[in-house]
Amino acid sequence: SFQLAIVGVILAICPWDSYFKMASAVEMPQTKIVCYFTSWAFYRVEEGKFLPENVDPSLCTHINYAFAFLDSTSLKIVASDPWADLDNQFYKKVNDLKLLNPKLKVLLSLGGWTESGSDKYSRLCASASARKAFVTDSLAFLKRYGFDGLDIDWEYPNCWQGNCGSNPKDKANFVLLLQELNAAFKQQKPALLLTIAMSANVNVMKQAYDVPNIFKHLDFANLMAYDYAGSWSTKTGHHSPLQKAYGETDPTASVEYSVNALLALGAPANKVVLGVPFYGRSFTLSDPAQNGVGAPVKGAGTAGPITKEPGSLSYYEICKSLKTGGWTTMMDPSAGPYAFSGDQWVGFDGPRSLAKKAKFVKAHGLAGIMAWELSMDDFRGLCGSKYPLLTAINTELKSSDATSGR
């Protein structure tokens, strides 16, 4: 046939091995699987205790070490927990995972929710001299501990802990910080990576980020596409629904809506990493007989035995409860699974709903998936095999791209 003749011509010009080299040279860049490591999981009891050696480095392309803090006076990076980070050598041990997976990149993540309530990030971004000192100091800090880059998790410019209007100048000033950091990072040999964690709330997105301009200075951004519902809600809701859940009245409450909004604001798809949760959001029902999405709630669900945070349960706490029995699990095909028992209700992501999100990532040409966070997966295999959530993501993202329209 004509096609075979063409292949024959190509092969005559260049033999098989270089033909394949040519083909692989135009492959898509590696799909990212960004895993957050949280130093505080070290303090959990028994089966929840999580150490650097509990990480499976073959299942991540990037690990973000959460969190470092910004010193309020010097406006420079400091270790948030010197006992874990330095004395117990977690910085070193997490970076040493690169010995097991040489392609792995480890970034230091600066910030977090509790760290974002004050004006310090705003002050840093507003001052040219503070930014300059921060860039120089950050380079030294990352080099000292062997990190491959910096992830900034300021929640959020101009919307400190979600309160928009905190300082409207943050939006433009944040671009300046990223621009100056990236210029310095890319002069290093090898170049350092610069990423951020972004809000998936469309109202926050518009007020916090100058989208086209921040992406110019980032390797990629991790979209925190979860916490669409929680203990602050008046009714049950899936906290990370891929599409709007049946019974959900808010049209903006879906991962798909957030991704489309971010792309519409000018983000390049190939720099957007979709964040997924390895935890569920739980509620206490007002009436146990009303147990669907949109059912009235009294407040947060009962805290888990290991994670001990009302309104939140790790995936391993959820899967153990479901195995023990007494829980009814429902699967909303558009949003994901939820389960209830008596007056307790939890919405979460399981292996199947995460595989669906991975398919969504491939179909939209996104950069990959970010997981918050490793210590919430069933990392010990209490309910079956180890890391069922992270494995489901890997399996789907690495499955033949021919089936994903690429």
Query: What gap in Å lies between CA 96 and CA 226, rounded to an integer?
Result: 30
H helix and E strand count, the chain: 13, 17
Choosing from 46, 47, 115, 155, the catalytic residue is 155
CB-count exposure of residue 406 (10 Å: 0-12, 13-18, 19+)? exposed
Q: Could you tell me the two tokens for 9?
A: 């011509």
Residue reference for tokens 């979209």:
223
Strand, helix or coil for residue 19: helix
Residue reference for tokens 């699967």:
331
Cβ atoms of residues 386 and 55 within 8 Å: no
Return phi, psi of residue 168, to 5°.
-55, -20
Cβ atoms of residues 342 and 328 within 8 Å: no
Does the active-site annotation cover 155?
yes
How many Cα atoms within 13 Å fall on the side-chain side of residue 312?
15
Query: What gap in Å lies between CA 120 and CA 115, rounded to an integer?
Result: 9
Q: Which of 24, 34, 28, 29 has its CA nearest to residue 394?
A: 34
Query: What gap in Å lies between CA 52 and CA 94, rounded to an integer?
Result: 6
Cis, peptide link before residue 156, omega less than 30° from 0? yes
Q: What Å distances lie between residue 174 and 21, 23, 124, CA to CA? A: 41, 40, 9
Neighbouring CB atoms inside 10 A of 350's CB total 20
Say how many Å lie between the first and final Cα of the chain, rounded.
Answer: 25
Residues present in the chain in total = 406
Residues acting as catalytic residues: 155
